[in-house]
Amino acid sequence: MGTTQLEAAPEPKYWHLKTVISEALDTDFAVGEILPNERELAARFGVARATLRQALEQLELEGRLQRRRGVGTTVAPPRVGVDVSTTQHAWPGAGEESWQAVDSAADTTPAAVLRLLDAKPGETVHAVRRLRVTDGTPVAAELLYVPAGSVPGLDPAAAPEGPARARAVLRELRQLALDGQDRSVELGSARADDAKELDRLPGSPVLVVTTRYLSGGRTAAVSVATYRADTCRLTFGDSGDLAMAS
Amino acid sequence: MGTTQLEAAPEPKYWHLKTVISEALDTDFAVGEILPNERELAARFGVARATLRQALEQLELEGRLQRRRGVGTTVAPPRVGVDVSTTQHAWPGAGEESWQAVDSAADTTPAAVLRLLDAKPGETVHAVRRLRVTDGTPVAAELLYVPAGSVPGLDPAAAPEGPARARAVLRELRQLALDGQDRSVELGSARADDAKELDRLPGSPVLVVTTRYLSGGRTAAVSVATYRADTCRLTFGDSGDLAMAS
DNA sequence: GAGTGGTCTAGACCACTCC
DNA sequence: GAGTGGTCTAGACCACTCT
């Protein structure tokens, strides 16, 4: 026999594995069910554990699985639709019950944020930490940066940090006229602090939503919100029940 | 000496590596510059290649690096801001020069898309493939699903597939009154066909933008657009020059 | 303490690009 | 053919959770 080329499509093992497991999830498992552990799965499929893990990682990235150290791998529920549409000229903290102010500090403002803010050099920037919770589970961690110039009425005698201060900053911000806002979404990996708030490991994939609040011809505030990419689907329209399609 | 616990923070090696390399990218490298190869980097940092790769993978996920098999690892330019705001009541293909219709076929429609479409069971669904190109490089691959009922005027004698057919479907679609649309963004991994169009490996992370076009009280079309997550930043406002902040 | 997923190693071979 | 990143292996140990 000659050099018969039957193996024309050398599909990676982990890719094929992913497909097989994905189909098994559809037919043989219910949401929340625990899969066999990695060592057993690897043995069952006849691959090294690292290869098996590569397949599981992809499925977790696609929101099909959920893995927790010390616990196990479970079948994830469908992603939650989280509304991030610009609620017509609304400052953060105005009637939105899903966000809760957690803290405020004179944090070190990232250079990338400073570039977006129309802040004078050396101007102090308030950093308000907020957490977005739906159905009791945190879905997003936000850092809202507000230059001191945007909240001139802020009581200097107020607490220098903590939740009370955070609410004070938000209250002052609402005094301004909101001219508009623009928003961008990109992929990122969770910083250590965000990961902790979201109950994830540092470096896990997140959707970073950056919002710029415009008032009086300047950028009055910048929000950097970090959404769990595994469990969230960001929605922009009026109907929040779009299903995933990848 | 007792059990002095100086190693209080057992930060993973790859995480620390990532930080070190990230800082080196800021100071010692220019955009487009080629990094030393993985084997040399691993040796230089005194870690196994797999560990080094874990750090590089994260940096690629964050859009800092670009890796191409057979070529090398280069410093990535800042992410491109891609406008995905709902251009006020516009059907796809109306005056948007960034999209080009590539193909049309009676593709197998995914179950998830069928659930979104108000299509009769068994109704044929046209699948139009389009490619979004900015600055000569493809940034997104789209599959636009149009039930036959949405384009009643489509010439039955037209070509059953190919670019000509794609343009015909888009032309017919524009005859309808567009009542509204809603949109969602989520993380996914590139299918083999999308990956090929986007010049990426299958499984690479993508931002999946699902758009539902509403007309006459029904879902007239559904678009599933796959954006390269490494190079793209999706923007929704009017100013497209937001910088990343993660 | 038992069991889970997370990290890490030191190797090997393969697929691809470019010369 | 030389050099690159991509895949895969078979182990080891660590961090965490639950009981």
pLDDT in tens, A199-224: 888 889 999 999 999 988 889 999 99
Q: Residue A80: inside a domain, yes or no?
A: no
**B115 shares its domain with B228:** yes
Q: Residue B85: inside a domain, yes or no?
A: no
Averaged pLDDT, B154-183 = 83
Q: Residue B65: inside a domain, yes or no?
A: yes
Instruction: Decide: pTM greater than 0.75.
Output: yes
Nucleic strand C contacts from chain A, 31-60, CB < 7 Å: 35, 37-39, 49-50, 53
Kindly list the residues from chain A whose CB atom is less than 8 angstroms away from the CB atom of residue B208.
244-246
- CATH number of the structural domain spanning residue B30: 1.10.10.10
**A110 shares its domain with A35:** no
**A20 shares its domain with A118:** no
Q: Residue A2: inside a domain, yes or no?
A: no
Cβ atoms of residues A91 and A176 within 8 Å = yes
pLDDT computed for residue B122 by the predictor: 78
Rounded (10°) angle between helices B49-61 and B38-45: 110
Residue A165 to residue A46: CA distance in whole angstroms: 57
List, for residues A47-73, the tens digit of each pLDDT value: 999 999 999 999 999 999 999 999 999
**A172 shares its domain with A61:** no
Averaged pLDDT, B174-189 = 90
**B168 shares its domain with B231:** yes
Backbone angles phi, psi at A195, to 5 degrees: -60, -40
Q: Residue A3: inside a domain, yes or no?
A: no
Q: How confident is the model at residue A9 (pLDDT cuts 50, 70, 90)?
A: low
Hey, of A88, A187, A209, which one would you mutate to test binding to chain B, going by the most B CBs within 10 A of its CB? A187
What average pLDDT is seen over chain A?
Answer: 85
**B22 shares its domain with B58:** yes
Q: Residue B232: inside a domain, yes or no?
A: yes
In this predicted model, which residue has the larger pLDDT, B124 or B86?
B124
A238, pLDDT greater than 70: no
B171, pLDDT greater than 70: yes
Q: Residue B111: inside a domain, yes or no?
A: yes
A21, pLDDT greater than 90: yes
pLDDT computed for residue B2 by the predictor: 36
**B135 shares its domain with B171:** yes
Cβ atoms of residues A113 and A121 within 8 Å = no
Beta strand ranges found along chain B (DSSP E) = 65-68, 72-75, 80-83, 99-105, 125-134, 137-147, 180-189, 205-215, 218-228, 232-235
Instruction: Extract the tokens encoding A143.
Output: 């850092």
Host domain of residue B134: 99-244
Q: Residue B53: inside a domain, yes or no?
A: yes
Q: Measure A230 CA to nearest chain B CA, in Å.
A: 7
- CATH number of the structural domain spanning residue A131: 3.40.1410.10
B8, pLDDT greater than 70: no
Number of domains in chain B: 2
Residue B69 to residue B151: CA distance in whole angstroms: 43
**B136 shares its domain with B168:** yes
Q: How confident is the model at residue B88 (pLDDT cuts 50, 70, 90)?
A: low
Q: Which of A116-120, A159-163, B53-57 has the lowest mean pLDDT?
A: A159-163
pLDDT computed for residue A143 by the predictor: 93
List, for residues A156-200, the tens digit of each pLDDT value: 666 677 788 888 888 899 888 888 888 999 999 999 888 988 888
**A55 shares its domain with A119:** no
pLDDT computed for residue B151 by the predictor: 86
**B170 shares its domain with B135:** yes
pLDDT computed for residue A241 by the predictor: 43
Q: How many CB atoms are closer than 10 A to CB A111? A: 10
**A226 shares its domain with A166:** yes
**B110 shares its domain with B178:** yes
Kindly list the residues from chain B whose CB atom is less than 8 angstroms away from the CB atom of residue A219.
none
